[in-house]
Amino acid sequence: MTENTGDIIMANGFPMPTRKTRKQFVIATIIFCWATIALLLWQGDPNNSLHVSALAWSYSVFAASLFAYVFGAVVDNYNFLKTMKTNETIRASAK
């Protein structure tokens, strides 16, 4: 259950992170993945299965975090617009 208490949005008793915090986390994850990919492409051994696996997982985590951020932003915008529409309906009925 989500409830809005002023500027802090609470979900199940815990504060939800802001958009800025989520964006910083995604950017840090992407930088880490690209650093891992660059290091493995530069110094990795193609015959080492650990390096090949780490490269594949870095690409997977990069794609997953990017898609999750975009999907989360879409859902967040949808919920914001839905809330604004509900507030406008409440204000119109109160007049």
pTM of the complete model = 0.63
The 10s digit of each residue's pLDDT in 17-32 is 777 888 898 899 999 9
DSSP-based three-state secondary structure for 16: coil
Count of domains observed in the chain = 1
**Number of other residues whose CB lies within 10 A of the CB of residue 26:** 17
The range of the structural domain enclosing residue 61 comes to: 2-94
Give the span between the Cα atoms of 86 and 92, in whole angstroms: 10
What are the beta bridge partners of residue 14?
11
Given pLDDT bands bounded at 50, 70 and 90, which one contains residue 93?
low
Q: Considering the chain, what percentage of its residues have pLDDT values greater than 90?
A: 22
Among candidate residues 26, 5, 8, the one with its CA nearest the CA of residue 18: 8
How far is CA 12 from its chain centroid? 19
